[in-house]
Amino acid sequence: MNVALAWRKSSYSSEQSADTNCVEVATTPTTIHIRDSKNITGPALSVPPASWADFLRLIS
């Protein structure tokens, strides 16, 4: 069974610019999914929540 992911775009992303570089993130209890907002049918990166948390700590 496939479950639709609830993708969220960064609040820093601009809806007015089609060429804005941005990512979208969808979370589940076991996986964080990351994709390019300009290519939603393209490849997505999937990482464990702990790895995502580490990444967020590094960039903040």
Three-class SS of residue 14?
coil
Q: Where are the domains of the chain?
A: 23-60
pTM of the model: 0.78
Q: Say what the pLDDT of residue 50 is.
A: 97
Beta strand pairing call for 23-27 and 8-9: antiparallel
Residue 23 DSSP label: E
Give me the tens of pLDDT residue by residue for the chain, a chain 60 residues long: 567 899 998 777 666 655 667 889 999 999 999 999 888 899 999 999 999 999 999 988
Q: Say what the pLDDT of residue 20 is.
A: 65
